């Protein structure tokens, strides 16, 4: 695995635009860009498992809820976001 670290303030305009396009948002001068380069295929699967990042705790927001509770929560979220509309 290779890790590349660059200070955003040291990146040229064209390269910065390209990187912003890749990551999907603008970069600011006070940030660092850290890129990890990993091989897709490995002869050692146990090494691949170590490369995978841990899932953040907030990804498990539905843990412990029943299907009905998840459905009620989903319905409330969609109504609040105005993603559901009455069909006439």
Q: What is the pLDDT, as a whole number, of residue 77?
A: 84
**pTM of the predicted protein model:** 0.43
Mind listing the pLDDT tens digit of every residue in the chain (88 residues)?
A: 788 899 999 999 999 999 999 888 899 999 998 888 887 775 666 655 555 567 788 888 888 889 999 899 888 888 887 765 566 5
Spatial distance between the Cα atoms of 46 and 78, rounded to a whole number of angstroms: 41
Which of 86, 79, 3 has the alpha carbon at shortest distance from 38? Answer: 3
Q: What is the pLDDT, as a whole number, of residue 9?
A: 93
Spatial distance between the Cα atoms of 27 and 42, rounded to a whole number of angstroms: 33
- Indicate the domain borders of the chain: 2-80
Q: What torsion do the CA atoms of 43, 45, 51, 55 make, to the nearest 10 degrees?
A: 160
Q: Collapsing DSSP states into helix, strand and coil, what is residue 22?
A: helix
């Amino acid at each position: 695995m290779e890790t590349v670290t660059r200070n955003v303030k040291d990146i040229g305009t064209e390269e910065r635009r390209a990187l912003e396009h890749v990551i999907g948002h603008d970069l600011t001068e006070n940030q660092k860009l850290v890129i990890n380069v990993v091989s897709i295929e490995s002869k050692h699967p146990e090494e691949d498992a170590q490369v995978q990042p841990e899932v953040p705790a907030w990804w498990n927001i539905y843990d412990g809820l029943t299907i009905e509770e998840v459905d009620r929560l989903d319905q409330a979220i969609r109504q609040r976001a105005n993603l559901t509309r009455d069909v006439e």
